[in-house]
Structure 1
Amino acid sequence: MSKPDLLVFMSDEHTPGFSSYEGGPARTPNMEKLCENGTSFAAAYTSCPLCVPARISMLMGKLPTKTGVFSNDGAIPETSATFLHSLVAAGYETVLIGRMMFVGTNQRHGFTKRLVGDMSPVTWNRPMQKLKAERGVTQSGFADPWCLNVAGGGDSPVMEYDKDVVRAALAYLGQDHEKPQCIVVGVYAPHFPYIAPVENYLYHKERMKVPDSFRNVPEYLNPVLMERVLDVPEEVMIRARAAYFGLIENCDANLGLVRDAFNQYLERNNREGVFTYLSDHGDQAGERKIFGKETHFETAARIPFIVAGKGIKKGLKINTPVSIMDLGPTLCELAGTNPPPVQDGRSLVPELTGNENDKDRAVLCEAINTVIPGFSEAMLEKYAAKIKELTSLMPHSVENSTIPGFEKILSRHILRTGGNPDEIGLQTVVSRMVRKGKYKYITYIGYEEYDLLFDLSGDPEEKYNIAAQHPDIVQEMKEIARKDWDPETVVQNHQNYLTNIALVKRWEREAGGDDSERWSKNPERARVMPKVI
C-alpha cells in the first residue's frame, strides 16, 4: 500500500473565530471548502501563544516546559528529532517551503529540502541595518506595539514574501517526484504588519464594529495582562483590525492556490494525499485593548486545525480539545510510522476517521511573560536614558507616529521587555491554560487571586470569570495545570536559557552570523507606508 502524500499549509497568527468558516467577518471560502471536504477541530490550541516556542513544540511534540523554549530566540538542539526525521526514516521527502522561524546554522531540522528561506532573522543577532534597508518604514510593523503605527491598505513585505512562497510551492507541485512527499508551506500572513490589500482593507474598515471588550476592558485582567493593554483611539484599532481581517483573506486565497495545485499533483501522479491547515497561534486584534499574541484568551491561544484527504471524514467538526502538538503524531500515523519518543501530543487519526476516543481530554498551553510590579509613569522619566539606549538597539522605530501618547506606550514596552530585571524590579511570570470539556482555566503564578475560569459553551467571548462560583472545578483544573510541573524550576530554566542565548549572541557577533538563507527580496513598493489608512 502506497504512503499518502502530506501537505501542511501553515500560517502565522491566525485567529479562527474571525474567519467566515466559523461565522466571522473575514471571507475565507477556501477554508470553508476545506471544512466541507474534511474534519475541523473547533477547540484546537497552541502550546504557547508565541511563534518560535509554538513551532518548536509542534515539531518536537513536546510542551515548551520540556523543549526549554519560551522565547523567539529559541532553537532545536541538533540531536533532538522532530516528526520530520521520523518521516524521512519512513521513506519520505520532507520539503519546507517558506516560514518556520528556525534560528541558527541549522535551517532544516528534519527537512531534506528547503526552497524558500525565512523572512525573519535566522541569526540570534538581528541584522538591523539590513532589515531597515530591505523593509523601509514597514519594518516598524513587525513587532507590537510598533505594528499599530503602520496599519492600513497597501503592499507589504509579508504579502511579497507569501507570493514567493506560493510561487515556489506551485512550481514544486508542478514537478513529479518519486518519493512520497511531506511538504510544509509556511506563509507569514496574517501576522502583522497590519497592512492588507487595499480592497480587502477598505471592505472591512467600512464595516468594522468596535468589539465591546475594547470599549469596556474586563476588570478581571491581572497586572501581567494590564501591561499589554494599549490605550489607543478606536480609529487605530479599526485600522489594525481591518487590515488583519484582510490579511486572513489573503492567506485564504493562497491556501486555495496551494490546495488546488496539490490536488492536481495527486491526480496527475495517481496518488492519494492529506492536506492540513493550521496556524501557530492567534492575534488579539484589539480585543481587551490588546494586540498581538502572548495571552491565553481564545483570540490568541486557539488555532485553526483542518484536515482533508484520504480516509478523512468529510464535514465533521470535532469539539473535543486538541493541541498543535498533535500534528506530528497524526502525520506519522497516516504515514505508517512512529513519531520520536516521549510525545505530549497524540495522533488524531481516530477523530479524523470518525472514532473520537478521548472526550475528557485536557490540553495545556503555557507561556512566560514579564511585568514591572508597581509601575508608575515616573519610571519612564527615571529610566529615560536606558529607554533611549534600548531603542537604538532595536530594528523598529516610532518615527512620524500619529497615535496620541504612542511614545509613552512604546517606552513602557521597551522598559518591560529590555530593561535590567535587577535594576527595575522586572518580574518573570509563568502561566498555564487548561482546556477541558466546556471549561477553560487560566492561571498566572504569583497572581493566583486573578485565576480565570470560563464556560466556553455559553460564553465563547470569555466575558465572565466564573472562578468564584465554581471552586471545585477550579481545584480540578489547578491540579491538572500543576501535575508534574514546578513553576519555579520552569522560570529558573528559562533564565538560564536566556543567559546561554546571551553568550551565543556574543559568540555570533565575534564569529559572524550566516544569514545567507534569509529571504531578502522585498521590492521597493513594499517599503513604504500604506497607501490607504
Structure 2
Amino acid sequence: MSNKQPNILFIMADQMAASALPFYGGKTAKVPHLASLAERGVVFDSAYTNSPLCAPSRYVLMTGQLPTRIGAWDNAADFPADIPTFPYYMREKGYQTALSGKMHFCGPDQLHGFEQRLTTDIYPADYGWFPNWDDPDTRPTWYHNMSSVTDAGKCVRSNQLDFDDEVVFHAERYLYDYARGKQERPFCLTVSMTHPHDPYAITQEYWDRYEHDEIDLPKVRIPEAEQDPHSRRLQDVFAYYDQEITDEDIRNARHAYYGACSYVDDQVGRLLKALKDCNLDEDTIIVFSGDHGDMLGERNLWFKMSYFEGSARVPLIVSAPNRFQPKRVKESVSTMDLLPTFVDWATDGAGTEYAMPIDGRTLTPHVEGKEGGHDEVIGEYCGEGAISPLFMIRRGQYKYVHCAIDPDQLYDLNKDPLELNNLAKDDSYADVVKAFRDEALQRWDSDAITEAVKISQRRRRLIVRAMGEGETNIAWDHQPYFPATEMYMRNHIDLDDLEAKSRYPRVV
C-alpha cells in the first residue's frame, strides 16, 4: 500500500438489496458500472446493516457505535452532536470531508463533522417521525403504506429524481473543484442517493431497459397465519391487508425498482468518469454500500425493518486496484465497521486513539487478504413495527434473532439461505439456541432498553407538539450555501486568471 493518504469516495444507495445485484446472484438488475467495480474490487458477500431503518443505520455507520450506545432508536431519533463521527476522525487526520445527499440527521446539528454539505436532505430533520410504544395499536399516518406498490410504474419526474440528480451534480462539481484546486489535503467525499428507495417509480428510459415479462416474482410467499409476530406487526405498519396486492402490482414495483437500480448505476458511472477525467482515480479508494435492503415482496413483506436477508443484507464493495487485489470475502461484517476502516486508511494502518469505545471493527484484514478478520455482526432494532427491542447475532453459518416478547429465530444460512426453517423450533438445535439466548440475555437488558426508548419518544412528542405552537418555528433542515460572489464571471478577478483557474486541465 502507498504511504500517501488516499482519497476516499464513499457512495451510498438507499434501500438497495444485495440480492438484486448480479454479483450477488441477482438475475435481473442491469448495473454494469457496479458490476465492473465489483469485478476489480473486494466484494463482501455477507455484509449487513446493524439496524434496518434509514436513520439508525446511518447513525451507526457514521459513529461505529451500536444504536443502544447512542440512542439511535428510530427515524426521528436525535443524533447527538457530541458523538464523534468518521468525518471528525478524518478531519483530525488531515482530510477535507464533504457530503452530497441524504444522511437523515435528526436534530439541529446537520453537519456532524462534514466541512461541507453540498445539498439539503430529502428527509426532514425534526422529530416528527416517531413510533409510539405507549400506544402501539394506533397507526401513525406517516407510516409506509402499500401505495408504493399499487401505484408503482413509470413517471416523467419524481421527488427522488429531483434529489438524486442534484446530489450527483454537486458531487461531480466537488471533484472538478478539487482537481482545479491546490489538493493540499486528501478528500473524503460521501455521495448518498435516495434511489432505489420506494415509492417504486422510474422514468421511461430506465423502465425500458427491462422487458416486463422478465421481471421475477418473489420466491417465498408466507400466508398471514404463518408469519412470525414481528413480520405480522410490520404488515400492520404498512397496511398490507387493506387492499389486494396482485402479481401485476408486485411485478410493476419490482420492475420500477430494477429501473431505479440502473439509474443508480448510471450515477455511479458519472462519478467514476469524473474521477478518471480529473486524474484522481489512481489515488482514490472507492467504497459502495447501502443503509439497508428491501424485501421486495419476499415473505409477503416490503421495504425493510426486519432482520431477514432482503432487509438486513447490503452490498459492500471496496475498489482500489492499485492497493487491494480483487477478492470475495465470505465472513460476515457490517457497515458499522466502516469508521475504523476509514481511519486505518487515513493513518496507513496505525489507527487512532478513539474518543470513546467503538463497536465497529476494521475491515483492513479482509480487504488486504490477511488473517485476523472478524466474522460477526451485532444488530439492534427499535423502530417501526417493534414494540420491544429486536436483537440479532450473525456469526458463522447462523443468524439468531431475539425479542423478549416473540419466539426466538435461528437460521442456518449455509443450508437455508431463504430462511424457511426456524431451527429454534428444532429440539436437535436446543444447545445452539440456548447458547445464543444466554449470550443475548447477558448482552442486552431488554426492559431497560424498552424504557429508554419510551422516555426518548415521550420527550420528542412533547418537543414536536411545542414546536407546532407559536408564530415562529425555525426548521433544522440544512440550507446549502453557495458563494455566488466567487462563482462564474466576477469583476474582482482578472478574466484571464478566472478562466485559467476554472479550466481543467489548465492550459500551459
Q: Measure how far apart 1:124 and its partner are.
A: 3.1
Q: How many Å separate the matches in 2 of 1:368 and 1:145?
A: 22
Identical counterparts, % of pairs: 29
3-state DSSP of counterpart to 1:17 = helix
Q: How many Å separate the matches in 1 of 2:75 and 2:269?
A: 29
Matched ranges for 1:296-315 at <5 A = 296-309=307-320, 312-315=323-326
Q: How many Å separate the matches in 2 of 1:518 and 1:251?
A: 25
Q: How many Å separate the matches in 2 of 1:507 and 1:93?
A: 38
Q: Could you state the TM-score of these two structures normalised by the residue count of structure 2? A: 0.82
Q: Measure how far apart 1:211 and its partner are.
A: 1.8
* 1:353 equivalenced with 2:368 (yes/no): yes
1:22 match: 24
1:213 match: 220
2:123 match: 120
3-state DSSP of counterpart to 2:303 = coil
Matched ranges for 1:34-113 at <5 A = 34-113=37-116
1:143 match: 144
3-state DSSP of counterpart to 1:483 = helix
1:281 aligned to which of 292, 311, 326: 292
Residues 34-74 of structure 1: CA distance to partner in whole angstroms, max 9, x if unpaired? 11111011111101010001100111111111111211111
* 1:461 equivalenced with 2:461 (yes/no): no
8 Å contact kept, 2:105–2:125: yes
Q: Measure how far apart 1:219 and its partner are.
A: 6.4
- Counterpart of 2:109, as a letter, is N
Q: How many Å separate the matches in 2 of 1:491 and 1:453?
A: 23
Matched ranges for 1:77-476 at <5 A = 77-125=80-128, 143-154=144-155, 155-175=157-177, 176=179, 177-201=183-207, 203=210, 205-214=212-221, 216-217=222-223, 221-229=227-235, 230-231=240-241, 232-267=245-280, 272-309=283-320, 312-336=323-347, 337-338=351-352, 339-358=354-373, 361-368=375-382, 428-448=387-407, 451-467=408-424, 468=426, 469-476=428-435
- Counterpart of 1:147, as a letter, is S
Q: How many Å separate the matches in 1 of 2:328 and 2:377?
A: 18
Greater mean alpha carbon deviation, residues 222-231 or residues 62-71: 222-231
The number of residue pairs the alignment matches comes to 445
Q: How many Å separate the matches in 2 of 1:168 and 1:305?
A: 23
3-state DSSP of counterpart to 1:212 = coil
In the alignment, structure 1 segments of 5+ residues that lack a partner are 127-139, 372-426, 520-533
> CA, structure 1 residues 481+179, in 2 after alignment: closer, same or farther (shift >3 Å)?
same
8 Å contact kept, 2:397–2:413: yes
Q: How many Å separate the matches in 1 of 2:313 and 2:300?
A: 18
Q: Measure how far apart 1:518 and its partner are.
A: 5.9
Q: How many Å separate the matches in 1 of 2:322 and 2:361?
A: 18
8 Å contact kept, 1:36–1:314: no
1:4 aligned to which of 6, 9, 16: 6
Q: Measure how far apart 1:120 and its partner are.
A: 1.1
- Counterpart of 1:188, as a letter, is T
> CA, structure 1 residues 217+340, in 2 after alignment: closer, same or farther (shift >3 Å)?
farther
Q: How many Å separate the matches in 2 of 1:367 and 1:142?
A: 17
1:527 match: none
**Higher share in helix:** 1
Matched ranges for 1:439-518 at <5 A = 439-448=398-407, 451-467=408-424, 468=426, 469-510=428-469, 511-514=472-475, 517=478
- Counterpart of 1:466, as a letter, is L
Q: Measure how far apart 1:498 and its partner are.
A: 0.6
Q: How many Å separate the matches in 2 of 1:14 and 1:356?
A: 30
Q: How many Å separate the matches in 1 of 2:228 and 2:128?
A: 33
Q: How many Å separate the matches in 1 of 2:310 and 2:429?
A: 24
Q: How many Å separate the matches in 2 of 1:97 and 1:508?
A: 28
